[in-house]
């Protein structure tokens, strides 16, 4: 029997969720990469600023945020805020 111990390695990818759909992406990916893997058209909208990402609680997330396995993202439309004069 050999005393050589092989190093423990983890999975080659991370599992995250975008709009309730699971996707596996390579280590080193950012949030918008997970969107792009499932919804290329939505990722283009995120890149263009027409959509944005939120976490599972609805808090804004940067599209360039590094991924951590198990995170849940939602893609939501960007809504322009009414300025105070237009709202009066």
The contacts of residue 86 (CB under 8 Å, 6+ apart) are none
- Tens digits of residue pLDDT in 12-57: 899 999 999 999 999 999 999 999 999 999 999 999 999 999 999 9
Main-chain dihedrals φ then ψ at residue 18, nearest 5 degrees: -130, 120
pLDDT confidence tier of residue 84, bands split at 50, 70 and 90: very low
The CATH number for 13-77, chosen from 3.90.190.20, 3.40.50.1980, 3.20.20.390, 3.10.20.90, is 3.10.20.90
Tell me the pairing of strands 72-77 and 60-61. unpaired
Among 22-31, 60-69, 73-82, the range scoring the smallest mean pLDDT is 73-82
Q: What is the pLDDT of residue 85?
A: 46
Tokens of 40: 């290329």
CA distance 32 to 39: 10
Q: Which of helix, strand or coil describes residue 5?
A: coil
Tokens of 51: 């959509």
């Amino acid at each position: 029997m050999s005393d050589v111990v092989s190093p423990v390695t983890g999975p080659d990818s991370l599992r995250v969720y975008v709009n309730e759909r699971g996707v596996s992406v390579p280590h080193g990916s950012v949030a918008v990469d997970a969107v792009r893997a499932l919804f290329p058209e939505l990722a283009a909208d995120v890149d263009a600023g027409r959509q944005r990402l939120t976490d599972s609680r609805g808090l804004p997330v940067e599209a360039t945020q590094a991924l951590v396995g198990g995170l849940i993202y939602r893609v939501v439309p960007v809504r322009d805020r009414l300025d105070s004069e237009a709202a009066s």
